[in-house]
Structure 1
Amino acid sequence: MIENIKTFILWVLIITSVLFTWQIWTYQHDYNFINETEYYESEQIGEERSLEELIQPKQVITHEEDNSFWIQPTNNHYLLLMEELKQVNIQEIRRGSNSFARTINDVQGIELLFSHEIKGEWIHRFFEMDQEEPFPMEGLDRIIIFINEQSSETEVSVRFMSTSEDVLYQANTNLSATSLISLYEQYEDTHKTLVEERSLLGSAGGLYTVNYMPVEEVEANKYFYTATELSIEAFKNGLFNDPEFVKQYSLGNDEVFADGIRMMSVENDGYLLKYGQTSQSLQPGAGERSIVDASIDFINGHAGWTGNYQLDQWRDSLINDRVTYRLHVKGLPTLSTNFSNQDILTFNITRQGSQISEYVRPLFHFENEDLFDGHYDTVTLPSYDDLISIIEQKEILETSNIEDARIGYYMRIATYVFFEPSWFVKERGSSSWRRIDTSEQAQSRSQARESDDSGLE
């Protein structure tokens, strides 16, 4: 009898041990994966932003009689213009004639060009819409508001155009011709640069894109800022569901935080944060919303926006969705840096299925005011045609391969952070911008002008 009891107890202990062992080996913490609709709010370091604040034109062009002018984006010109356009009511959207694209310089009005196509469904956020039906275009990259002298129904019409699809639609507006003229006459001549249209071979190969390039010199200011580091703890607490399960270790010069499912690394001397989820943790299925909408919510819920970043490019696909927001200074994009990793200029988010799989962003922000409180050095940049001459003379690259050219900022990190205006070009097939040094030519032109002035005295 006693032996039977001992045997029974022994079997109970064996079975209990097996159960405990199985539970230990099969235990997995109850991780909640970060997807596009569910995330854990963290300490707010920056600001929340809306889609309307993050999408601004790369250029605003006014067409006045026989001339076209680039409205420089300083003093929040583009942001204020987009706010004013929200009051414009558009009606009776209809398919337009493609011949209009070839006669745009013959009209009087304002043209907005975007660096990447924006979704047609977003137009409801930028204008007042009478109709409830969906916007008829998938995407567009140009908006032209012009005085329509041929219409008896409206004084001012608006055109929505897609360069890649070669599609355009036209609509009536509630604007008067006088209101449209006053809209762009508010800009002082010091903020307007004479431009002409140039056709550059786009990335699609054989498709020429519309670009307006300055035909005169452009003056832009240098800026100097101090950089402030952001709290790593705030990101750790927001990006990991249970921070107490997170392990921290060093990997070379980088600090790594991981919980077995997610990993966050602080790289490049603390300037850059990278976050990702393991491929095993990602769930199949497509995202319900655009990567742009999903990424805005994600960043708003994870410390927010620390600086003026604008939508630069994005891609929705069946496999990987990706979006990039680029740092802007006084309205101009920051296109290159002396830092080893160009990612410090952008916020980058990748989505697989419905889940955010990667998040890369800088770990610093700038003080609101620059160090010199309004006293800046001014840089004089050459016209586009002079830029091309410099490139050809120095044999920097094949000008026939130029896909795009822009004036933007070069960021140099030292004791302080310096932003210097420069010309940049993008070669076909490249994802990065190349800075073109024109300082030597600018100095020669300045000396020539001084010589001319002294000769006149």
Structure 2
Amino acid sequence: MNKEAIKSATLTVLILISLFFTWNMWTLRPSFEYFQNQTLVESIPIDQETKKTYEVIKPHQLLLHSQENHFSSIAGKFTNGLWKEMQNWEFSNVKSQSPFRTREEFQKWTDENNDASIELKFYNEIPMSTFQSMLQWDSDTNENISFDRIFLDVMTTNDAQQKVSFVSYDKMIVVETTVNDIEAKDFVAQIFNRRDELQSYFSYDTGQGSDIMLPNDQVILDSYEYFTETIDGEKFKDALFSNPRIVKQDENVSRNRYTDGIRELNIYQNQHMVRYVNPTLRDTDSVRAGLLIDQSISFLNDHGGWTDNYVLFNVNESDQEIEFIMSIQSIPVINSEENSFGPTMIKQRWGQNEIAIYDRPSYQLISNISNQSTTLMSGYQVVELIKNNQQIEETNIHNIFIAYELSSSDSQQFVKVSPIWCIQMKNGQLLKINEDLEQSGGNENGVE
């Protein structure tokens, strides 16, 4: 065979091979399952409910001041309606005041504004930047300051201005604003004129100039029994890992453990608790409290973490930690130490704009099946117990409030929810005041 014949044969073979591969490319239909198995599976939220900032950051107490008289409610009467109405107001004429030089000067300002006013009190100081993200402002002000109370003056003049003051009791800072809306002014006045529908309160001075308002009389609230539902561990896995398909599960007697090789999710079944840890993000430069709040709420919105009613309870900027507490009828819920069922708080710790540690309940309250009335001691009795307790320093008390205590029952699917008095210390510690101890012969000072 000569060279020309060899070239022709080789060319023919190459053409045939080319045609073969071209035909395969045109006709090949890869299995859909193959591509489906190779696709990155995105996280799936536990629940579709999302919350707006003002639905998570709420005043925990509404107080009406009328000269020497004070009124308030336990279960949020008027509070939620007023707070929602304030989202429609436009705040203008922002006037910042420098911190008062002395506690006496600040107390004088407070007394003058207690003649006729409504006070909204928050669990924790809220950054001005967060208030500006919730409420409507015609101009920006100092974002580095924060407040734990809002005062609404009840004016008798005929103008349309409603005066609103944002107050920090700890730093003695006041920022005064106005709302130019006659409907806002009328709304505030209508609530104030219904103060006789609320319980009368008195002022308890802890010695630091931060008065705590407590009821004059005993308080009657319902106790409940709730049916609970455990949230499946697979739901947390699908919601918290960016690619749940590569996550592996280890199971032992006390917990279920999921990991993608770096991050770890632990489901503690007996404690009804979940912990998610990203160990590479524990140490980082801190972000301001306002950003910490924003990213914490967004995180819960993104993975559907609002499985019950939760409200902002505490913000620790230095440790980059934030806490949301469960709430029933606007009353915070705490876990029983003596008969624990499970946590009642969502706790987050942040690092490098990502969640580093995430602790939360693995259950949710579904419905209450029974209730009965419970009578709590008056505020005067609470103060007497505190003063007789040698272990409690009054000046270290941050707040005193009524909470619901959640405890286990005979069945793992049911919990008991009972009202109690609670002291919050400045270091964050919560102490339960048990009025029954006076009758049972327990700890004579009544504090556990």
1:244 Cα deviation from its structure 2 partner: 3.1
Mark the CA change 1:63 to 1:283 in structure 2 (over 3 Å): closer, same or farther.
closer
Q: What amino acid is the match of 2:132?
A: H
Partner of 1:19: none
SS in 1 for 2:294: helix
The yes-or-no answer on 1:358 pairing with 2:357 is yes
Mark the CA change 1:215 to 1:329 in structure 2 (over 3 Å): closer, same or farther.
same
Mark the CA change 1:378 to 1:408 in structure 2 (over 3 Å): closer, same or farther.
same
Taking the TM superposition and a 5 Å limit, the aligned residue runs for 1:127-206 are 127-129=135-137, 131-134=138-141, 138-148=145-155, 155-176=161-182, 178-185=186-193, 189=197, 192-200=198-206
Segment drifting more, 306-315 vs 216-225: 216-225
1:51 Cα deviation from its structure 2 partner: 0.9
Task: Work out whether residues 255 and 269 of structure 2, in 8 Å CA contact, stay in contact via their aligned partners in 1.
Answer: yes
Task: Work out whether residues 154 and 192 of structure 2, in 8 Å CA contact, stay in contact via their aligned partners in 1.
Answer: no
Could you tell me the TM-score, scaled by structure 1's length? 0.76
SS in 2 for 1:197: strand
Partner of 1:382: 377
Q: What amino acid is the match of 1:354?
A: N
Task: Work out whether residues 117 and 140 of structure 1, in 8 Å CA contact, stay in contact via their aligned partners in 2.
Answer: yes
Cα deviation code 1:79-119 (max 9, x no counterpart): 22211112333221113485453314642121011110111
Task: Work out whether residues 70 and 193 of structure 1, in 8 Å CA contact, stay in contact via their aligned partners in 2.
Answer: yes
Partner of 1:13: none
Distance 1:426 1:297 in 2: 27
Q: What amino acid is the match of 2:436?
A: S
1:160 Cα deviation from its structure 2 partner: 1.0
Partner of 1:322: 321
Q: What amino acid is the match of 1:51?
A: T
1:272 Cα deviation from its structure 2 partner: 0.5
SS in 2 for 1:121: helix
Segment drifting more, 281-290 vs 48-57: 281-290
Mark the CA change 1:164 to 1:40 in structure 2 (over 3 Å): closer, same or farther.
farther
Task: Work out whether residues 271 and 342 of structure 2, in 8 Å CA contact, stay in contact via their aligned partners in 1.
Answer: no
Distance 1:286 1:409 in 2: 33
Task: Work out whether residues 339 and 413 of structure 1, in 8 Å CA contact, stay in contact via their aligned partners in 2.
Answer: no
Cα deviation code 1:37-58 (max 9, x no counterpart): xx95423326211111001112
* CA RMSD across the alignment: 3.1
Corresponding residue to 1:433 among 405, 430, 435: 430
Mark the CA change 1:239 to 1:179 in structure 2 (over 3 Å): closer, same or farther.
closer
SS in 2 for 1:371: strand
1:133 Cα deviation from its structure 2 partner: 2.7
Q: What amino acid is the match of 1:107?
A: D
Partner of 1:20: none
1:309 Cα deviation from its structure 2 partner: 0.4
Cα deviation code 1:244-281 (max 9, x no counterpart): 322222355111111221000011516111001122x6
Mark the CA change 1:228 to 1:354 in structure 2 (over 3 Å): closer, same or farther.
same
Larger Rg: 2
Task: Work out whether residues 272 and 342 of structure 2, in 8 Å CA contact, stay in contact via their aligned partners in 1.
Answer: no
Aligned residue pair count: 389
Taking the TM superposition and a 5 Å limit, the aligned residue runs for 1:11-90 are 41-45=43-47, 47-74=49-76, 77-90=78-91
Distance 2:313 2:230 in 1: 24
Q: What amino acid is the match of 2:348?
A: I
SS in 2 for 1:200: coil
Cα deviation code 1:10-33 (max 9, x no counterpart): xxxxxxxxxxxxxxxxxxxxxx9x
Task: Work out whether residues 406 and 416 of structure 2, in 8 Å CA contact, stay in contact via their aligned partners in 1.
Answer: yes
Distance 1:332 1:214 in 2: 15
1:419 Cα deviation from its structure 2 partner: 0.8
Task: Work out whether residues 61 and 70 of structure 1, in 8 Å CA contact, stay in contact via their aligned partners in 2.
Answer: yes
Taking the TM superposition and a 5 Å limit, the aligned residue runs for 1:136-285 are 138-148=145-155, 155-176=161-182, 178-185=186-193, 189=197, 192-200=198-206, 207-251=208-252, 253-269=254-270, 271-279=272-280
Q: What amino acid is the match of 1:356?
A: I
Cα deviation code 1:153-211 (max 9, x no counterpart): 7653111111222110212222545442213445772xx2211222225xxxxx44232
1:282 Cα deviation from its structure 2 partner: 6.8
Segment drifting more, 332-341 vs 162-171: 332-341
Mark the CA change 1:136 to 1:44 in structure 2 (over 3 Å): closer, same or farther.
closer
1:341 Cα deviation from its structure 2 partner: 6.8
Could you tell me the TM-score, scaled by structure 2's length? 0.77
Cα deviation code 1:377-430 (max 9, x no counterpart): 11111222212324556767555654432111111112221111111123454x
Gaps of 5+ in 2: 1-39, 441-448
Distance 2:68 2:110 in 1: 15
Cα deviation code 1:194-247 (max 9, x no counterpart): 11222225xxxxx44232111221111112110001121121122223323222
Task: Work out whether residues 196 and 215 of structure 1, in 8 Å CA contact, stay in contact via their aligned partners in 2.
Answer: yes
